[in-house]
Structures are given as C-alpha cells and as structure tokens.
Amino acid sequence: MTEENKSENAGNDLNAKTATTPRKRSWLRFWGVVALAVVATVLGLALLVNIFQRKQEERNPFFRVVELTDDTVDPAIWGKNFPLQYDDYLKTTDQVRTRYGGSEAEPRTPTQADPRSIVAQSRLEEDPRLKLMWAGYAFAKDFREERGHAYMLEDQMFTERQQVTQQPGTCINCHASVYVAYKQLGGGDIVKGFEQLNRTPYFEARKFVTHPVACIDCHDSQTMQLRVTRPAFMEGIRAFKASQGIQNYDVNKQATRQEMRAFVCGQCHDEYHFSGPEKRLVYPWAKGLQVENILAFYDEQKFKDWEHAETGAPVLKAQHPEFEMWNQGIHARSGVACADCHMPYKREGALKVSDHHVRSPLLNINRACQTCHRWSEDELKSRVETIQRRTYDLRNLAMDALIDLINDIKAAKGAGRTDTGVRTAQDFQRRAQFYLDFIESENSNGFHAPQEAARILGESINFSRKGQVALRGGV
Amino acid sequence: MFERNVMNLRLAQGLVLGVTLGLAVGVGAYTFVYARGYSYMTDNAEACVNCHIMQEQYSGWLKSSHRAVAVCNDCHTPPDLIGKYTTKAQNGFWHSYYFTTGWFDDNIQITPRGREVTEKACRNCHQEIVEAIEGPHAGASEWQTSCLRCHNSVGHLH
C-alpha cells in the first residue's frame, strides 16, 4: 500500500465515522416519531371504542335473554336479563358496621342444630338489660344485630328463638320470597295462600320457600314496575287510609310511583302482630301510624305478646317500625322514599341503575345524601352520628328507668302486694316498654325521625317513673 | 448503486412515517367528529350532555329560572375569550379523563375554581343588587358572602 492510499483510507474511515452519527440520529428521530404516532393511534382508537361503547349502552338499556313469568322465583334467572341489578343484590351478604348499627361478622363453631359458621354480634351480650326487658319471651334467649337481606331466611331458621318456642309459618311472610308460594298454596289467590301459610307451623311452611326476598317480591315480571305482594301490607295500608277518610284503598292501583318506592319496603319493615288463633299477620295501623295509635289499637284488642316473667305485666314486643318512623320524619315529609337513600341511583357506564345493594346510607354517603345535601361526606356523617348518639343516650336513660320499674314491681310482688298500685305499675310497664322498644328495635337509631324518637323515649321515661310513683301510693 | 439504496431507504422511511402519522391524524379526526368534539367550541348547552354525565344538570337547567337568560357557558366559563377557552380546555381535559376512566363520584361536585367562575358570573349580571348588598369593591378576596350558598338551585337543582 502506498502512502497516498493509506491517507485516503484514513480519510474514508474518518468520513464513515462522521457520516454514521447523523444517520443514526435521524433513524432514532424517525422511529421516535413513528412510535409516538403509533401510541397516539392506539390511544385514539381506545377512546373511540370507549365512546362507541357508551353510545351503545345509552341505546340498549337491556337485553332480554330469558323469558320471565309471574312464577319465576329464582333471582339468578332474573339476573340474566338484569345483570347489573343482580350483581348488586348479591352484595347484601356484606357485613359492615356503622357507628351505631350494622352487623359485625362473628365466627362460630357450626353445630348440628345451627350450621352457620358466621353470625352477627349478640345484642343481648352488648346490653344485658334487654334480657330483663324481655324476660319470659324468646327474644331474651337470642337476639342479634340484623344482617343483610341475603341472610333473612337462614338467620330466621337458625335463631335459638326457634328452640324455645313453636313459631308459626307467619314469620315466613317476611323472611323469604313468598309470592309464588302464596299463589301455589292458594290456588292462584295470594290472600288464600297467605292465610294457609300463617296457619302452618314454621318448619312445615319453610318447605314451601327457597329464596330470601327476591326480584318478584317487589317487581312485576313483565313490566318491572313496583308492586306490593304482601296481603298484610295491602290490608294494613287500607285500614290506615280508612282512618284518614279514604275508603277501599288499593295500594297497587292508587299509589304513585314514588310512594311505591317506600311501600315495597314497608311490606316488611314495620310493626306487626299475629292476630287470633289463625295467626294472621296484621299491621296495627287502623288508628294511625304513630306509637300511641298503635298502642291504642293493641289496648282495644286486649292484645299482649307475653306475660312478663318477673312482673306479670301483659307486655308487647315492638318490631322494627322503620316504615312508621320514617313516616314521622322530614324525609318522608319532603317526598324522599326509602329507595332514594337505601338504593340510590348509580352509574354503570352510560346507564343509570338503582343500587340493589340495599344498605345503610352511611356506607354510601355520596350517592345517598349528596344528591340533595351539598356538604362534605365528613360533615354529613357527623350530622347523622350526632342524631344517633343523642338517641342512643336517651335510649339508655329510658332503659335504666324501665329496669328500675321492673325491679320495683318485682320487689312489691315479692312482698305479697296485689293492690291497684301494682296493677297500675304493670300497665305503666307495658307502655314504657313498648315505647322504648319502638325505638330500640327501629333500625335507624332515631335518624328516620329524630324529634319523634326523642319524644317517644321521653314519654317512655315518664311512664317508667310514673309506674314507680304508683307503687309508692301516688298517681 | 449506493445512491439508489439511499433513495429506496428514504422512500420506505417516508412511507412508514406517512402511513403512521396519517393513521394517527385520521383516527384522531374521526374520533373528534364521532364524539362531536366540534360542538364544544359552541355555546350550545346540548354539547354538555354529549357524554350523559351532565344529564341531571341539563334537565334541571331546562326547568330552571335561568334557562331563558343563560346557557352553561354563561355561568361556567369566564366572559373573556382567553379565559373562556382556557377554562373549556382545562375542564374538557379533566372531564374526558375522569369520565373515560370512570374514577369519579356519582354525584359530581364543582371544583373550587369552577365555583369561583360561577360566583363571578352571578356578580357580573346581578352587579346592581350585589353592590347594594356589599358595596362596590374590586376582587374575590373582598367578597363578604356567597351568592351560591343560598341560590345554588337557580341554574339547576342538582
């Protein structure tokens, strides 16, 4: 190789080096731009598909996959047509506490008689005074915090109350999906089926039902419109409307759509009693929905749930009067139905569905409260808890007063007294106890009607103290 | 020979770049038209219900006292051109982000900035009555009360 060639080669090498670097750079730049364009295309397409999906959802609110009839009990079948509602309905198995309510999951060892491995906390252990209030009644044996709808059938079946007393089939009216069972038992007539079910002992009646409350208990299978399926509510609301001067009220024909969004819940969430030897389920509303109207109704019927084991007083057990208490509150007054707070609307894509995960609004404040109340979640929660704490404190005062009265009557009877003072005190016990239980068993801790709850507890305390005065020769 | 190779390479590069960029622009343009993106440049209140989320607010506005005198933009964007389109761009971006991902609370709530824009709009149209209440003054820092605290349903109930 000559010197010249060498230098030429060296020059070439140098040229090659300087030439590759800008070429590499331009390649990088080229692929960089291509990659960005690819990412932009992918994002653009993803957005396009998302918008397309929302537009489709808006157009097709529902696909009919199966044919539903007036005899379809199984909610899973309804769920094929209404998957969003069904998914939420299944969530009522949740056990979540709120400050003053809600159920906690407690593990237990399953037994032959009770195969449940999880139950809710015992209210009797939380407050042993309840045992004295209910002495001689099955509730003094076993009373737990209520769990979600999904558990209504098994919790009713396995409660220890079943072991200490023979319960009638009437209980099933609100612990299972009974509409189709009514039809079968009554040969197509739900009122006949209802009467038949009431007469049948609990464990025999249990064989006619399979599901906890299901779609068909509130919805018409063809139109999905809300409807009342419980004869006890139809009769109860008819009697109540008659007391207001409206004769022959037919709830399924005359109620508005918004009223129905409370009435379907009111089918079960109210005070009741089993009337006569045929154990007919009757809602005591013929004189009105307030506690004194209901007590007056029972007094007129000379009805008692049991005789108190310690005092011999003819006492009553109040049961979850949510419908009655809600009726006394500001929300009912403003036209807000149960479903507005306990099943608020929620968004699923472009669809709006009512949340079938029925639960405490405190667990769902944004959807339940903030539709109307424009305050922060913390503020709203603390407002509710203030009401509940005040009610709870007053309830404890009323409970102490009642226990004092029970102990006084017990002592008087122990001393052999049978005079009118004792009988008056027993009557006051009946009143005090029913008023207190009306709030104790109501599942909102005063929230549904705060002032009414305070009034009732105040009156309960007054009855208890008056009973004590009666024993001392006063009144 | 070498020059032809370079030419071919350039041509291929150009093709790839053209196709990918073209696709990106095409898909973007189609999505924009399909999603009625152009409607957001207008004052038409219907643009705000393109994506269903504002349906309650829109229905409420249709029945409200302000329907005859104000559309969405009158109360929810500042009156000057730059402020208006900055606000539109900012809200448009975050609305698209949250509504596409679904990461938002069902009962939507106005942002503090949005609330200030609306409060200013109240005070702008109702200047006379506001002055009668608070007296004339300059900026937001001197506001003594809020129109929206009491009159929050004049535009739409929810």
Q: What is the pLDDT of residues B54-103, one digit of tens each?
A: 888 999 999 998 999 999 999 999 999 999 999 999 999 999 999 888 88
Query: Phi-psi region for residue A225, left (φ > 0), alpha (ψ -120 to 50) or beta?
Result: beta
- A15 reaches B (C-beta below 8 A): no
CB-count burial class (<10 Å; 0-12, 13-18, 19+) for B43: exposed
Q: Which residues contact A444 (CB under 8 A, 6 or more apart)?
A: A101, A322, A325, A326, A388
When scoring A347, A366, A373 by the number of chain B Cβ atoms within 10 A, the one with the most, hence best to mutate, is A347
Cα–Cα nearest to A397, from A450, A447, A439: A439
> Which of A340, A343, A282 is closest to A91 using CA atoms?
A343
Tell me, what's the pLDDT at A4? Answer: 47
Range name among A68-82, A246-260, A354-368, B34-48 with the lowest pLDDT average: B34-48
Q: Report CB contact under 8 Å: A366, B105.
A: yes
Q: Read off the tokens for A282.
A: 């009757």
The model's pLDDT over A121-138, given as tens digits with 9 standing for 90+, comes to 999 999 999 999 999 999
pLDDT of A465 above 60: yes
Contact in structure between A146 and A103 (CB atoms under 8 Å): yes
Give the H/E segment covering residue A352: strand A351-354
Q: List chain A residues with CB under 8 Å of B105.
A: 366-367, 370
How far apart are alpha carbons A97 and B2 in whole angstroms?
Answer: 79
CB contact under 8 A, A34 and B16: yes
Residue in this structure with the two tokens 């761009």, named with its chain if needed: B89
Q: Do A33 and B105 touch (CB under 8 A)?
A: no
Supply the pTM of this predicted model.
0.83
Which candidate in A29, A34, A36 is best for mutational testing of the B interface (most B CBs within 10 A)?
A: A34
Contacts of A349 in chain B (CB under 8 A): 102
Look over chain A and give the mean of its residue pLDDT values, rounded to a whole number.
91
pLDDT digits (tens, 9 = 90+) for A367-425: 999 988 988 999 999 999 999 999 999 999 999 999 999 999 999 999 999 999 999 99
- Band the pLDDT of A62: cuts 50, 70, 90: confident
A7, pLDDT greater than 80? no
- pLDDT mean over B122-126: 93
Q: Does B5 touch chain A (CB under 8 A)?
A: no
Token pair 């596409």 in the structure block, residue: B100
Amino acid identity, residue A52?
F
Amino acid identity for residue A118 in this structure: I
pLDDT tens-digit readout, A273-328: 999 999 999 999 999 999 999 999 999 999 999 999 999 999 999 999 999 999 99
Pick the residue with more confidence: A119 or A60? A119
Q: What is the DSSP letter of A315?
A: E
The region that residue A445 occupies, defined by phi over 0 for left and psi between -120 and 50 for alpha, beta otherwise, is: left
User: CA nearest A266: which of A462, A448, A470?
Assistant: A448
